Amino acid sequence: MANIDAKITKILYRITCPDSIELGEYHLGILPTARRRQISQHLADCPHCIRELAQLDNFMDDVGADLDYGVVERIRIWVAQKLPSWEGGMGDMPVFALRGEDQGPLMYEAGEAQLTLEIQDDPQRPGKKSLIGLVLGVDTTAWQVHLWQKDKLLDAVPVDELGNFMLDNLSLGGYKLILTGPAAEIHVPDLVI
């Protein structure tokens, strides 16, 4: 009988406990609220999980100083995803385009930001193009726009407080556009002008 009890105890030992990864996520506060509540209730009655959480806490105290990230490591990098363009708009949604242009603006989504780019003829330089951009959805204070071609930085301009920027004197070709802010970057890797 003792042998059966030992087997059952081994099988059922901590069966209702969250696994170590989930306890770690609980400790970091990244679990959904409902699951966090369930684990909190479980911790009220489970000395094993309380002990495991204390060990995790001690471990984090020991290595916490080594895990403190600098400003550079905290930057989120968003790769802009081009949104489909709609001919003639979509329902009540307006289509933005300048008179005389065959295509509307290029629209992108990147993390929390929305980016609109419009390519126009450069009024000051015949045969050249201008790139006009608008960033929405993020605070653009202290943001810069960098235009690259074949790993060479061609130009860098600030984004104004309303999210606008403009690059001009551009030749036709392929570019990479990187918008850099204090806590995030937006990459448009394949921009064709």
Helix (H) or strand (E) holding 22: helix 20-28
Angstrom distance (rounded) from CA 118 to CA 104: 7
Q: What is the pTM of this model?
A: 0.55
Cβ proximity of 175 and 66 under 8 Å: no
What's the confidence (pLDDT) of residue 130?
A: 93
157 is written with which tokens? 């301009």
Angle at the Cα of 98 (from 93 to 100), degrees rounded to 5?
125
What's the confidence (pLDDT) of residue 2?
A: 72
Q: How many helices (H) and strands (E) does the chain have?
A: 4, 10
Give the chain's domains with CATH numbers.
Answer: 2-63 (no CATH), 73-88+95-192 (2.60.40)
For residue range 77-129, list pLDDT tens digits in order: 788 888 886 544 444 444 444 444 445 799 999 888 999 999 999 888 999 99
Angstrom distance (rounded) from CA 41 to CA 150: 56
Q: Helix 47-63 to helix 33-43 angle, to the nearest 10 degrees?
A: 110
Q: Strands across the sheet with 113-121, in order?
A: 81-82, 106-110, 113-121, 129-136, 164-170
Angstrom distance (rounded) from CA 165 to CA 170: 14
For residue range 43-85, list pLDDT tens digits in order: 898 998 999 888 888 877 766 555 554 444 456 778 888 888 6
Nearest to 167 by CA among 127, 120, 113: 120
